Chain A
Amino acid sequence: MGNENKPMKLAYYPGCTLKNQATNFDVSTVSSMAKLDVEVEELDRWNCCGTVHALDSDNVMNRVAPITNMIRVKEAQARTEGMASEFMTSCAMCYNTLKRANIDVKQRADALATINDFLSLETIKYEGDVEVLHLLEYLRDRVGFDNLAKKVTKPLKGLRVASYYGCLLVRPKEVAFDDVENPMVMENLIRALGATPVDFSQKTECCGAFHTVGKPDVIAERTDKIMGSAHEEQADLVVVSCPLCAFNLDFRQDDAKRLNPDFHNMPVLYFTQLMALAFGCDESALRFDLQHIDPLPILKTRGLG
């Protein structure tokens, strides 16, 4: 991992929700990376990733927002010593949308030329030369889970954790950095933190995503099924990498309970919060106060609260 004496510098794209409802995801990302001696530098003037990748093949307009962020990475790289032409995001939706737009313009020179023309006021042209990384991918491939395990000061012994991937980390296969049907990267991270990974049937099933806006009844059904499956396997909590999944699986549990009186409430945390907890970070890096279902009772039961 780079120079022994100097921390590595990594460009970081937080995304909108990490600066709003999901600040717990933001602070736990930055704090746990600091414990791994990786200095994350938030991109200057980053903008919306576009949230969803437009699937219509004639769409160029919706690639402008994600590609503008690639230019911001080039700018950061130009002024920062030791920064590679890549950036990391911990939000699964930002990752998916930015990565897909990047793949798309690398394959379609005409679309990239149109976007560069549109962005003619930028001082740098984008040439398809930035790489998009998800934090889990970075931890696995650059840090290594063995190295990561050495930084654990408070092993999460006895904690049973179900890893929920949802859609955006594994589909489509062009953006997946693990097996599409049975990814294991989060389970391997959980194990490195000293916790017990719990297998459950719904780990790559969709949470219902944006239907939470207009059709919360649909989300209640999805949340009941997904969280119910984790409960059946005696998980203590579920970890996620997407703030939209987190909202649906955590905050919509009240709706799931109304739909199914036998529904059991269970905390939903970001994987970065578990890392920060195992690395001994304090409450300011965890922000458990922002969870809907309080994780402290189960953490206390396991001697971790």
Chain B
Amino acid sequence: MDTTLRITTARAERGFVAKIEKISGQKLMACYQCGKCSAGCPMAAHMDVLPNQIIRLAQLGMQEQLLAARSIWMCVSCLTCNSRCPKDIKIAEVIEALRMTALRDGERNDYLKIMELSPEARSVLPPIATISAMRKLTF
């Protein structure tokens, strides 16, 4: 019995990989899954797919799973992963590319709906908070 399992990326998925690599400016295949990014991530506890797993799924072009992941919205771009990656892969840039793909594709699909917050909640926020949140989580 042939027990060989071949992991290949189909043509459609290769297009997605190329897009993420282009927007992020990163070479996804450089990752060897050491896990340092996930170990230091301050948002890991709130993520469904850990940063190292995001890179693995991105290598395989698993668009649907990635764009549906809560993780891409939980990343705050603190860049701890970037500064510790031994291969100098900028994981936060890959996640930004995924966010941008989700925000740019099709209908307006903002993750943060700021007008749904109560006026009281909005009134205490400094502009640095509101503007950075909208820059990251809305189109």
Contact = CB atoms under 8 A, between A and B. Distances in A.
A15 B132 CA distance: 13
A2 interface: no
Which of A54, A55, A58, A221: most chain B CB closer than 10 A? Answer: A55
A209 B79 CA distance: 12
A58 B96 CA distance: 12
Interface stretch (A17-25, A77-85, A147-155): A17-25
A173 B79 CA distance: 10
Contact of B83 (A22, A171, A221, A222): A171
A contacts with B: majority SS:
loop
B82 interface: yes
Contact of B137 (A16, A170, A214, A251): A214
A298 B79 CA distance: 34
Contact of B96 (A56, A208, A210): A56
A263 B45 CA distance: 20
Given A17-B127, A244-B126, A55 B96 contact: yes
A52 B126 contact: no
Nearest to B25: A57
A211 interface: yes
Given A56-B93, A205-B42, A213 B112 contact: yes
A247 interface: yes
Interface string B77-100: 111101100000010110011001
A38 interface: no
A93 B83 contact: no
B25 A52 contact: no
B131 A51 contact: yes
Given A206-B78, A214-B137, A244 B83 contact: no
B128 A218 contact: no
B14 to A, nearest CB: 19
B39 interface: no
Contacts of B23: 56-58
